[in-house]
Chain A
């Protein structure tokens, strides 16, 4: 078994932490936005849809740049967050998580929305005639029925944020132990003379991680389907 160097372990754990925090923090918002898009009929729905999907089309570097402008400690929003909540995003791992969350947000919303749109609308009507109000219906029907989509979305988003490069390096730079995730570590190794082997090891690690992710998501979906069928 090939053992990992401390720097590799550091990059790996940082990647997992940033992606994990990004997905977990974005999830509630993704559920709300997906529900609004799938079931809601309100003015501006199209605009919300477009904004959610923007990170998919926009170059990640542009996303990073926009975040830098909005969240810098001297930018109004960034300054306000720093002063009120002591929350600083620039050049910190939390910033990397924020960038990952925004970039992977559309993946979560799309998966959840798809599973919500597959739910027979008649079920909501049935629940309504049985005395369930909107919030009750959300928790007793919408959420459990969207669970496969929520899990699929979370896994896809997690995988997407593991690979995020452009937005992170633009927004929070490439600081070892703080923002240097696996892709950034690979980039650094390639830039370093004689770093080919280090880059190859990190790339292999990334591939291994990707496979593990796929395997886990497959197992999770299988369990859900089995549960739904029993």
Chain B
């Protein structure tokens, strides 16, 4: 499963020149500010906009190749689209909307898979309703179901949550996580919300003003301070993959493992060995030179400073990798050992005399697990 895009297009006052490859399934976030060309790129993959030059490919299926004059018609591209404005057919029932694509597709999903999708999206009870009687969240679930039931090769989600309020977003996110974890379909997820990226995406393509700035795994990309102006200073931080290893409902805590590091978070109502995502904001991380005792924070991680970078204003960004062994900084670069960021004041930095390769302790004040804030 892979998506390869390399396109150029000149609009009247905007030039799009984007290139990225996504080699694996999972969710790839196409991230960038409004007006950066994200939707245009998705429309090009869907075939709704024709690029001036370039190449678009999904798996072995060439959808567009300017030099060879290939431009596969939209309806033969096998892309499932969910648009920001749901685009359900207003004159058709939910059932007819859901099966609109499936009825036109010679390569249908087996009946039991269709039923599984409908059951998991919780839309079986809405079948006979018209779209205008659905809530915003229900509409997007039906739109998601309609795209999935058409059995596409790739799912293109163009800001599917941006028209929803916070509560409705929380309602949809678990379905998207389920899609990511249980269906072998590459998903391109357009968004300008970094919290959605942190929670859902495996890969990330950052675009700005029509150009791809960076491509890579989410864990690596969200730690890059050079992209912070785009991802938003307020939320800058680290996303870490972790596993639930044990839990203690009585003490109301769950124990997680991130790399070789144990972490404690308030009780998560999830089974053991479940994968979760931690989002640690840089402003929620303190640095201590000696292991602090008698402190309320539960997670104090021995780390080694890999980099200190100046930030505009009165703060510095300190990058640290887990562990205090001699080759910790090297391992962080080569074996993908987890890194964590702290944003502290310049004054603190000079007071503690922080410098690269120094062994310190990262004190984590709060962790967000799968988009839900878990304090201390």
Q: Is A230's CB under 8 angstroms from B130's CB?
A: yes
User: Do A122 and B83 contact each other (CB < 8 Å), given the known contacts A129-B75, A130-B104, A228-B90?
Assistant: yes
User: Do A131 and B91 contact each other (CB < 8 Å), given the known contacts A136-B104, A230-B130?
Assistant: no
Q: Looking across the interface, which residue of chain A has its beta carbon closest to that of B104?
A: A131
Q: Is A145's CB under 8 angstroms from B75's CB?
A: no
- B45-97: which residues lie under 8 A (CB-CB) from chain A? 46-48, 74-77, 79-81, 83, 85, 87, 89-91
Q: Is A130's CB under 8 angstroms from B132's CB?
A: no
B319 within 8 A of A: no
B341 within 8 A of A: no
Q: Is A128's CB under 8 angstroms from B48's CB?
A: yes
B281 within 8 A of A: no
Q: Is B90's CB under 8 angstroms from A145's CB?
A: yes
Q: Could you give, for residues 85-124 of chain A, a 1 whenever the CB lies within 8 Å of some chain B CB and a 0 otherwise?
A: 0000000000000000000000000000000000010110
Q: Looking across the interface, which residue of chain A has its beta carbon closest to that of B96?
A: A140
Which B residues touch A192, using CB under 8 A?
A: none
B105 within 8 A of A: yes
Q: Is A131's CB under 8 angstroms from B87's CB?
A: no
Which A residues touch B130, using CB under 8 A?
A: 228-230
Q: Is B75's CB under 8 angstroms from A133's CB?
A: yes
How many residues of chain A have a CB within 8 Å of chain B? 21
Q: Could you give, for residues 113-148 of chain B, a 1 whenever the CB lies within 8 Å of some chain A CB and a 0 otherwise?
A: 000000000000000001011000000000000110
A191 within 8 A of B: no
A112 to B132, CA, bound (A): 22
A212 within 8 A of B: no
A189 within 8 A of B: no
Which A residues touch B100, using CB under 8 A?
A: 127, 130, 132, 140
Which B residues touch A129, using CB under 8 A?
A: 46-48, 74-75, 77, 79-81, 101
User: Do A125 and B48 contact each other (CB < 8 Å), given the known contacts A131-B75, A228-B130?
Assistant: yes
B306 within 8 A of A: no
Nearest-neighbour CB distance to chain B for A225, whole angstroms, equals: 11
Which of A120, A130, A145 is packed against the most chain B CB atoms within 10 Å? A130
A126 within 8 A of B: yes
Q: Looking across the interface, which residue of chain B has its beta carbon closest to that of A145?
A: B91
A120 to B74, CA, bound (A): 18
Q: Is A128's CB under 8 angstroms from B75's CB?
A: yes
Which B residues touch A128, using CB under 8 A?
A: 47-48, 74-75
Q: Is B104's CB under 8 angstroms from A123's CB?
A: no
Instruction: Point out the residue from B83, B89, B101, B132 that lies within 8 Å of A131, measured CB to CB.
Output: B101
Q: Looking across the interface, which residue of chain A has its beta carbon closest to that of B150?
A: A130
23 contacts between A and B (CB under 8 A): A122-B83, A122-B87, A123-B87, A125-B48, A125-B87, A126-B81, A126-B89, A127-B89, A128-B48, A128-B74, A128-B75, A129-B47, A129-B74, A129-B80, A129-B81, A130-B147, A130-B150, A131-B75, A132-B100, A145-B90, A228-B90, A228-B130, A229-B130
List the interface of chain B (C-beta within 8 A of A). Answer: 46-48, 74-77, 79-81, 83, 85, 87, 89-91, 100-101, 104-105, 130, 132-133, 146-147, 150
The 9 lowest CB-CB distance pairs between A and B, nearest first, are A130-B101, A131-B104, A126-B87, A128-B74, A129-B81, A131-B75, A122-B87, A144-B91, A130-B150
Other A-B pairs beyond A128-B47, A131-B105, A228-B130, 12, CB < 8 Å: A122-B83, A123-B87, A126-B83, A128-B74, A129-B74, A129-B75, A129-B77, A130-B147, A132-B75, A133-B75, A228-B132, A229-B130
